[in-house]
């Protein structure tokens, strides 16, 4: 196409610069928020008011900010759970299942330690350490199963993780409903509440799992940037065939990324159900927390596989989901504002990802030279 002396064409791009990636991520988030404002508007709420209420609650209200920070830690752990396998080219969408597995394991440890008995719990500091450890282990076992099937038999990891999400969803119901092993003695459909002694200490309102999540995000980036093991995962993710020729064992890489990913998701389950003030139990609507884990997928994708870059993303999405829920109540919006945002963010990310592969190329076209006039021959009439 030509426009005033410029030729314009759309071409496939080979490489992207960090600046473009950042602009793309920001564009995706802004576009999703703009699209969501159409939803608010059709529901009779002014988008500006809706965002002011949502973000005001999430970041400026003390109780809202507390909820945002707790959720950000949860989302960051879920992000890492998705991000580590993703660097190896694998999709761990089994976050909810691994979250439930972690929560169940942590509560099982508490139960064995006598959390439901009147006498109280002995060796509380040991149990307080064992609970997250058991959660990470349970998540890792579930993730490891996926990794094993993928590595040994090339079974599609997306299908297996989704199946295990459903399995764990129903198993959680089995544990906390209709007389299940972890059911509360006083309320049907939820787990017992952790006694005071088994609630981890808080610093600035946050449990130790918050520090763990931040440390893990930095450590993951360091491993992928500097360590040989991280290099092997990245090489495998970029080109499994070439990685194999370079002597990288695909079975090992696949198994490890899923073990680690599962452990992070298990810890996320521990964090939200066993370490966040106000909860300390597996509630009836545990499925909602499982669904929130999918924000981890978008976080990791938008942060382009960087744990540290995912921290502000996790904070933003935590704020949007906490604030969205609040605005939903305040403005009487339909249920599921946080779900709608999740969906819109995902699709705008896909769009930005696609747009990123193309470039609009402008080129100045030299002005056309006048065609020489035919020679005038004298004497010819």
Contact residues for another protein, defined by CB under 8 A: 39, 91, 93, 149, 153-156, 158-160, 162-167, 169-171, 173-174, 177-178, 180, 291, 294, 297-298, 301, 334-337, 339-344, 346-347, 349-350, 353-354, 357-358
Q: Which is nearer to another protein, 95 or 220 (CB)?
A: 95
- Report how far Cα 146 is from the mean position of its chain's Cα atoms: 18
What is the closest distance, in whole angstroms, from the C-beta atom of residue 298 to another protein in the complex? 8
Cβ-in-10-Å burial (0-12, 13-18, 19+) of 67 comes to buried
What is the closest distance, in whole angstroms, from the C-beta atom of residue 143 to another protein in the complex? 14
Angle between helices 62-87 and 307-330 (to 10 degrees): 140
What is the closest distance, in whole angstroms, from the C-beta atom of residue 358 to another protein in the complex? 8
CB 319 within 8 A of CB 73: no
CA distance 168 to 145: 13
Q: Which is nearer to another protein, 60 or 181 (CB)?
A: 181
Q: Which is nearer to another protein, 137 or 292 (CB)?
A: 292
What is the closest distance, in whole angstroms, from the C-beta atom of residue 304 to another protein in the complex? 13
Q: Which is nearer to another protein, 69 or 345 (CB)?
A: 345
Q: Which is nearer to another protein, 163 or 227 (CB)?
A: 163
CB 282 within 8 A of CB 273: yes
Q: Is 313 helix (H, G, I), strand (E, B) or coil?
A: helix
Distances (CA, A) of 90 to 48, 156, 214, 254: 39, 9, 23, 8
- Closest to 221 (Cα-Cα) out of 303, 312, 318, 133: 303
What is the closest distance, in whole angstroms, from the C-beta atom of residue 211 to another protein in the complex? 30
Q: Which is nearer to another protein, 66 or 250 (CB)?
A: 250
What is the closest distance, in whole angstroms, from the C-beta atom of residue 82 to another protein in the complex? 11
Encoding tokens for residue 215? Answer: 């440390």
């Amino acid at each position: 196409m030509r426009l005033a002396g410029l030729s314009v064409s759309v071409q496939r791009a080979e490489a992207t610069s960090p600046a473009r990636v950042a602009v793309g991520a920001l564009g995706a988030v802004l576009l999703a928020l703009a699209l969501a404002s159409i939803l608010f508007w059709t529901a009779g709420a002014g988008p500006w008011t809706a965002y002011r209420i949502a973000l005001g609650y999430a970041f400026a209200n003390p109780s809202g900010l507390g909820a945002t920070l707790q959720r950000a830690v949860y989302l960051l752990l879920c992000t890492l759970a998705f991000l580590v396998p993703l660097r190896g080219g694998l999709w761990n969408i089994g976050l909810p299942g691994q979250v439930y597995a972690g929560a169940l394991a942590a509560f099982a440890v508490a139960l064995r330690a006598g959390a439901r008995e009147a006498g109280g719990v002995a060796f509380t500091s040991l149990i307080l350490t064992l609970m997250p450890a058991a959660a990470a282990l349970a998540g890792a076992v579930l993730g490891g199963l996926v990794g094993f099937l993928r590595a040994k038999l090339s079974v599609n990891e997306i299908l297996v993780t989704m199946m295990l999400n459903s399995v764990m969803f129903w198993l959680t119901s089995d544990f906390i409903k209709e007389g299940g092993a972890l059911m509360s003695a006083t309320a049907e459909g939820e787990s017992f509440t952790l006694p005071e002694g088994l609630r981890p200490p808080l610093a600035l309102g946050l449990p130790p799992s918050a520090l763990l999540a931040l440390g893990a995000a930095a450590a993951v980036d360091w491993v992928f940037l500097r360590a040989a093991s991280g290099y092997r995962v990245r090489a495998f993710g970029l080109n499994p065939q070439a990685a194999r020729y370079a002597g990288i064992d695909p079975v090992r890489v696949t198994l490890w990324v899923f073990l680690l990913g599962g452990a992070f998701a298990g810890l996320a389950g521990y964090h939200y159900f066993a370490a966040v003030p106000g909860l300390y139990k597996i509630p009836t609507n545990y499925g909602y927390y499982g669904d929130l884990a999918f924000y981890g997928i978008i976080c990791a994708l938008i942060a382009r596989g960087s744990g540290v870059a995912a921290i502000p993303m996790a904070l933003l999405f935590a704020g949007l989901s906490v604030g969205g829920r609040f605005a939903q109540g305040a403005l009487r919006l339909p249920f599921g504002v946080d779900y709608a945002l999740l969906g819109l963010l995902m699709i705008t990310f896909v769009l930005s990802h696609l747009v990123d592969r193309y470039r609009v190329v402008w080129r100045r076209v030299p002005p056309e030279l006048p065609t020489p006039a035919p020679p005038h021959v004298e004497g010819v009439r």
